[in-house]
């Protein structure tokens, strides 16, 4: 029993700071003039502070229809010092999408944002 408690305590000590260093992301997407095209602004932060030097792509995928959509990843561009980045997404249909942010800098990370896109 003691061994289990020590191992669990060591696991918490190892994963605690690592989880705090993970990126957090939010997406605000609004429809553009073109059908099924959305202008998305992504806000990235780490430890509550905006991340200004990120490099990432956004890959939309529809979890309810695995492998049915093959949308190419779109590079996000840095917008301002609040941690905002912009990307234009062209989807195949309305519905619930998972936006996969593949971050290559300042450190490798993957963030998934669930987002519902409805007809406007």
How many residues in total does the chain contain? Answer: 120
Residue indicated by tokens 């941690």: 83
pTM of the model: 0.80
Distance CA 110, CA 94 (A): 24
CATH of domain 23-117: 2.60.40.10
Q: Kindly state the DSSP code that residue 112 receives in the 8-state scheme.
A: E
Question: Under a CB-based contact definition with an 8 Å cutoff, are residues 94 and 117 in contact?
Answer: yes
pLDDT digits (tens, 9 = 90+) for 4-47: 444 444 444 444 445 567 899 999 999 999 999 999 999 999 99
pLDDT digits (tens, 9 = 90+) for 40-93: 999 999 999 999 889 999 999 999 987 788 899 999 999 887 879 999 999 999
The closest of 101, 119, 118 to 110, measured between CA atoms, is 101
Domain ranges of the chain: 23-117
């Amino acid at each position: 029993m003691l061994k289990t408690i020590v191992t669990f305590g060591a696991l918490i000590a190892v994963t605690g700071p690592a989880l705090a260093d993970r990126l957090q992301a939010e997406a605000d997407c609004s429809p553009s003039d073109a059908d099924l095209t959305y202008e998305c602004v992504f806000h990235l932060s780490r430890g509550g502070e905006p991340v200004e030097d990120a490099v990432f792509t956004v890959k939309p995928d529809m979890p309810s229809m695995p492998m049915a959509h093959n949308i190419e990843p779109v590079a996000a561009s840095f917008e301002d010092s609040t941690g905002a980045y912009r990307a234009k997404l062209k989807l195949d249909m309305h519905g619930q999408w998972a936006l996969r942010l593949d971050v290559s800098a300042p450190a490798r990370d993957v963030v998934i944002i669930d987002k519902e896109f409805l007809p406007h």
